[in-house]
Amino acid sequence: MRMLPAQGGGFPGGRLGHPQALVRRARPAVPGLQHAHGHPPRFGAAGRRRHADIDQRAAMSYGRRRGLKMGDKPIEQYRKSRPRAEELYSRALESLAGGVGHDLRRGHPLPLYISRAAGSRKRDEDGREYIDYGMGNAALLLGHAPPEVCRAMRDALDLGFHFGNDHPMQLEWAELIQRMVPCAERVRFVNSGSEGSMLALRVARTFTGKIRVLRFEGHFSGWHDGVGKGAMIPFDKPVSAGIPPAVLDTIEVIPADLDRVAEVLEKDRDIAAVMLEPSGASWGTGPLTVAFNEGLRDLTRDHGVLLIYDEVITGFRYAPGGYQEYAGITPDMSFHGKILAGGMPGGVLAGRADIMEVFDYTGDAHRDRYERVHHLGTFNANPVSTAAGIATLKRVATGLPQEQANRLAERLRHGMDSILREEGVAGYAYGDASIFHVYLEAFPGSGASDRERLVTRDVNVLKGIPAPVVSAFQKMLLARGIDLVSYTGGVTSSAHTDEDIALTLDAFGDVIRALVRERVIATLK
């Protein structure tokens, strides 16, 4: 197991990162329930405790309704045990809009502030070490700071970190992607998955001459206006303020049902593309089958509609060629990020050669001005990101990192599910490849008497776990040294070990028993 090196003598009284500390460090549990409507807590800045009080009152109200044993003490214990995070958050509230740099980084009562990471572990500013199943929002299939990727980046830095021109490494990266990703006859680099999503829609509209996009409930494909409806419950409402109604009118959102798809494509002849996460809503939280994807491929082909895969998380994770290799289904286009650039900023749009011709200059002045796709980006294929991407994809292309990560994720899913079964919990663990999710019914539950009746693909149910329950689950795992991607799920990497899994299952069992005992989650009747 790769340990983080000690700084300034490491933890008092022992070696930094001793595995048992991950499980023993922070008992008792810290529920830390979060307000269901997401008001950010404001500790540490003068005059802002009112917001924290609102959060706490909402959590306590939820607790009274559900029979939870709630109070101020666990929240105060959590805060007092993290003085450095308290200090940093106080500064953040006066400098960062919203107090954080990414909505998912907001934590109650405090965000995590990480000082360094290596392998499967990361350490926060207060000296606590975590087994990390967030892995850079699922960007780090090889784990934190893999030596060969770091070495490639240092070598690139020595040559100059930004040219503002194309360079040979960009071609090597593009050719690697072409060999790996089935639909990648041509590629165009961007700086993130969201940028890839934006560009995919522009290309689809240019190629087809149509305007609208069909999406499925619960699927997240970036934060931009063009996909500004469908990702969050209620699925027919915008995900954010500030999205023009005219843009929202270009987005059709339906349940992931092939009959509904056929109905929409038959009636609406202005659908340019169907865009989806092929694994299912929110990186498989609401899972889809290969059979569904096969049927969707047939329907889109029959109706002359482009099929666009969001492979920002599934890409290179499910297989070297992503979900499309894993399932044997080739979309018309796919966009990628995260693993693509080895965890550095970077993205790519990949697609059929005839579709990607919309980027080509032809010499026809009218066509080149009015009919081609205009696309720029100061940092597209930045040399340092490119070097990280090449080094990562060379490893990923062997399939060995996926084998290790998949094996450990399967062991984790099986272990979690066994614990839930043994404790009689109304819930289950699930997922594919190196991804795991946990479904938990909130107390008092639906009255189900057997686990099989709970299993569903309904994204309204799977993404509908009450926020206070999710927050309690997350905070209690954090207190035991386990961090997730978001919600109730995470990813494994090739840097995780069997010991990591054993420690995680020990912590998971403690958390589940505490949640049952405190009547946060339901048991079978």
Domain shared by 480 and 502, yes or no: yes
Cα gap 112→201, rounded to integer Å:
35
482: which DSSP letter? E
Q: For 1-24, what is each residue's pLDDT tens digit?
A: 455 544 332 222 222 233 333 333
First CA to last CA across the chain, in angstroms?
A: 41
* Among the listed residues 494, 489, 195, the one whose alpha carbon sits nearest the alpha carbon of residue 336: 195
Domain shared by 270 and 378, yes or no: yes
Q: Which residues contact 454 (CB under 8 A, 6 or more apart)?
A: 426, 427, 428, 439, 441, 446, 448
Quick one: pLDDT at residue 10? 28
CATH value at residue 429 = 3.90.1150.10
Quick one: pLDDT at residue 440? 97
Per the CB < 8 A criterion, the answer to whether 288 and 279 are in contact is: yes
Quick one: pLDDT at residue 79? 82
**β-strand partners of 279:** none
SS3 content of the chain, % helix, strand, coil (to 5): 45, 15, 40
Domain end (from 349, 372, 396) = 396
Q: For 347-389, what is each residue's pLDDT tens digit?
A: 999 999 999 999 999 999 999 999 999 999 999 999 999 999 9
Q: Is the pLDDT of residue 53 over 50?
A: no
Q: Is residue 183 part of a domain?
A: yes
Quick one: pLDDT at residue 525? 86
Q: Is residue 156 part of a domain?
A: no
Torsion from C-alpha of 190, 192, 193, 195, nearest 10 degrees: -60
Q: Is residue 384 part of a domain?
A: yes
**Helix H or strand E segment including 100:** none
CB count, 10 Å around CB of 395? 19
Q: For 437-450, what is each residue's pLDDT tens digit?
A: 999 999 999 888 88
Q: Which residues contact 182 (CB under 8 A, 6 or more apart)?
A: 321, 324, 325, 330
Cis? peptide before 234, omega within 30° of 0? yes
Torsion from C-alpha of 401, 403, 409, 414, nearest 10 degrees: -170
Q: For 475-490, what is each residue's pLDDT tens digit?
A: 999 999 999 998 899 9
* Residues counted in the chain: 525
Quick one: pLDDT at residue 514? 95
Mean pLDDT of 218-246: 93
| 45 or 186, higher pLDDT | 186
Give 108's pLDDT tier (boundaries 50, 70, 90).
Answer: confident
Quick one: pLDDT at residue 104? 83
Domain shared by 315 and 208, yes or no: yes
Domain shared by 40 and 124, yes or no: yes
Share of the chain above pLDDT 70, in %: 86
CB count, 10 Å around CB of 96? 12
Domain shared by 340 and 433, yes or no: no
* Among the listed residues 153, 190, 150, 193, the one whose alpha carbon sits nearest the alpha carbon of residue 169: 153
Half-sphere exposure of residue 319, counting CA atoms within 13 Å on the CB side?
A: 14
Quick one: pLDDT at residue 24? 31
Per the CB < 8 A criterion, the answer to whether 84 and 92 are in contact is: no
Domain shared by 390 and 411, yes or no: no
Q: Is the pLDDT of residue 125 over 90?
A: yes
Domain shared by 105 and 228, yes or no: no
Cα gap 38→81, rounded to integer Å:
23
Cis? peptide before 147, omega within 30° of 0? no
Cα gap 465→442, rounded to integer Å:
7
Helices (H) and strands (E) in the chain, counts: 20, 16
Quick one: pLDDT at residue 409? 99
CATH value at residue 309 = 3.40.640.10
Domain shared by 120 and 267, yes or no: no
Domain shared by 359 and 432, yes or no: no
Domain end (from 335, 365, 396) = 396
Quick one: pLDDT at residue 4? 57
Look up residue 215 and give its two tokens: 């999406």
Quick one: pLDDT at residue 470? 93
Domain shared by 175 and 117, yes or no: no
Cα gap 294→271, rounded to integer Å:
19
Cα gap 278→323, rounded to integer Å:
7
Quick one: pLDDT at residue 257? 97
Look up residue 83 and give its two tokens: 């003085």
Domain shared by 389 and 407, yes or no: no
* Among the listed residues 1, 99, 113, the one whose alpha carbon sits nearest the alpha carbon of residue 55: 99
Domains identified in the chain, total number: 2
Cα gap 342→490, rounded to integer Å:
18
Quick one: pLDDT at residue 75? 64
Residue 93's domain spans which residues?
A: 21-132+401-517
Q: Is residue 159 part of a domain?
A: no
Q: Is residue 38 part of a domain?
A: yes
Domain end (from 378, 396, 414) = 396
153: which DSSP letter? H
Q: Is residue 10 part of a domain?
A: no
Per the CB < 8 A criterion, the answer to whether 485 and 435 are in contact is: no
Q: Is the pLDDT of residue 397 over 60?
A: yes
Torsion from C-alpha of 239, 241, 247, 248, nearest 10 degrees: 40
Q: Is the pLDDT of residue 40 over 50?
A: no
Share of the chain above pLDDT 90, in %: 79
Q: Is the pLDDT of residue 32 over 80?
A: no
Quick one: pLDDT at residue 446? 87
Q: Is residue 501 part of a domain?
A: yes
What is the b/e burial string over 486-518, where b = at least 16 CB atoms within 10 angstroms of the residue's CB? bbbbbbbbbbbbeebbebbbbbbbbbbebbbeb
Q: Is residue 378 part of a domain?
A: yes
Mean pLDDT of 162-187: 98
Give 30's pLDDT tier (boundaries 50, 70, 90).
Answer: very low
Mean pLDDT of 261-267: 98
Quick one: pLDDT at residue 315? 98
Half-sphere exposure of residue 399, counting CA atoms within 13 Å on the CB side?
A: 5
Domain shared by 47 and 86, yes or no: yes
Q: Is the pLDDT of residue 328 over 60?
A: yes
Q: For 214-229, what is each residue's pLDDT tens digit?
A: 999 999 999 999 999 9
* Mean pLDDT (the chain, rounded): 88
